[in-house]
Amino acid sequence: MIRKKLLVIPIIASLLVGVLAGCSSTTKKTEEGDSLPKIGTTIYKYDDNFMSFVRRAIETNANGKATVLMNDSQNDQAKQLEQVDTMISKGVKSLAINLVDPKAAQSVIDKAKKKNLPVIFFNKEPDAAVLKGYEKSWYVGTESKESGILQGKLVVDSWNKNKDKWDKNKDGKIQYVLLKGEPGHPDAEARTKYVIEEIKNAGIQVEELAMDTAMWDSAKATDKMDAWISKFNEKIEFVIANNDGMALGALASLEKAGYFKGDKFMPIVGVDAIPDMLTKIKEGKVVGTVLNDAKNQGKATFDLALNAATGKDVLSGTNWKLDGSKAVRVPYIAITKDNLSIAEEAYK
């Protein structure tokens, strides 16, 4: 009996060594994972087409460099502020925030300031005074008016080449409808203003038949376009959309109404150059769009957030530049059938 007990002891000892060795290995892996800086990130809503690509770019760039706590704010500003509180409590070293409402930037900063945390806002630009008021806040996005100007040039160039066919009432004016993004959003306001200004600057007269918000949403844009076709029908000569999601929604409505068969065509322009839009340009159903470079916006956001999280200058080791508003501006590019490859490359 004693001999049996003596035999059991070495077996138990060897098992304990194995277990302890396993614990040591697991602890080491955990420590390695924990050694990566944590970056707290929110997207105003996951089902926004363009923002899904920005999110993917952030996650791709973070691989092996940082742990990203990614959140869907579901277009709810109160929810987003709760998410910021939660991420701070989990020990993030920086915040990358795609605001639901740009006016809420100060509330985010007030929370971050208590823990001396840096904040990178992206895609929805806060007021310049808010950024200036906190030394550890920056912005990554675009020059909003540039997209409107480039979209206006697309309208002008395509109209001048096709006005004999597209000017249905032969009055020399463009009768247009415009699908607007979220009211008050800097991009929506700038795109709406500058696209029309650019057309007028080219000496082309315009007449607005209708303009309304579809909140960046494809389904809402289809409903708006259905109503406009019912009301104006053949009077509409051009469809201008603040983003590709709404442009594709308008396209779906027009297809239901019998457009894009035979000679029945409606020129459409959008902004973002998302893959679904590029397919429609390739098919000849859309005139053009403006590349809103999701890949580089995501990369710039992550680069700045990582540098800030590790206590470095936000531009350290990057090619990005800050303007006078503490912002990195990623340039837009006009896209037509002739240069689709540029946009396709951006979304790889």
* CATH number of residue 84's parent domain: 3.40.50.2300
**Is there a domain that residue 339 lies in?**
no
**pTM for the predicted model, two decimal places:** 0.79
Looking at the predicted structure, is the pLDDT value of residue 9 above 70? no
Report the pLDDT averaged over residues 268-285: 97
- One domain for residues 130 and 114: yes
- One domain for residues 175 and 255: yes
272 secondary structure, DSSP code: B
**Is there a domain that residue 25 lies in?**
no
- One domain for residues 105 and 185: no
**Alpha carbon distances (Å) from 151 to 136, 239, 242, 281:** 34, 12, 9, 14
Determine the structural domain holding residue 220 and report its residue range.
145-291
Relative to beta strand 333-335, strand 289-291 is antiparallel
- One domain for residues 220 and 137: no
Q: At what angle do helices 49-62 and 294-309 cross, to 10 degrees?
A: 40
Round to whole Å and give the CA distance between 32 and 300: 25
**Is there a domain that residue 12 lies in?**
no
288 secondary structure, DSSP code: B
If one counts the domains in the chain, the total is 2
pLDDT confidence of 108, banded at 50, 70, 90? very high
Residue 348: predicted pLDDT = 77
- Residue 67, phi then psi, degrees to nearest 5: -100, 120
Residue 49: predicted pLDDT = 87
Task: Compute how many other C-beta atoms are within 10 angstroms of the C-beta atom of residue 33.
Answer: 9
Round to whole Å and give the CA distance between 122 and 128: 13
Looking at the predicted structure, is the pLDDT value of residue 1 above 90? no
pLDDT confidence of 301, banded at 50, 70, 90? very high
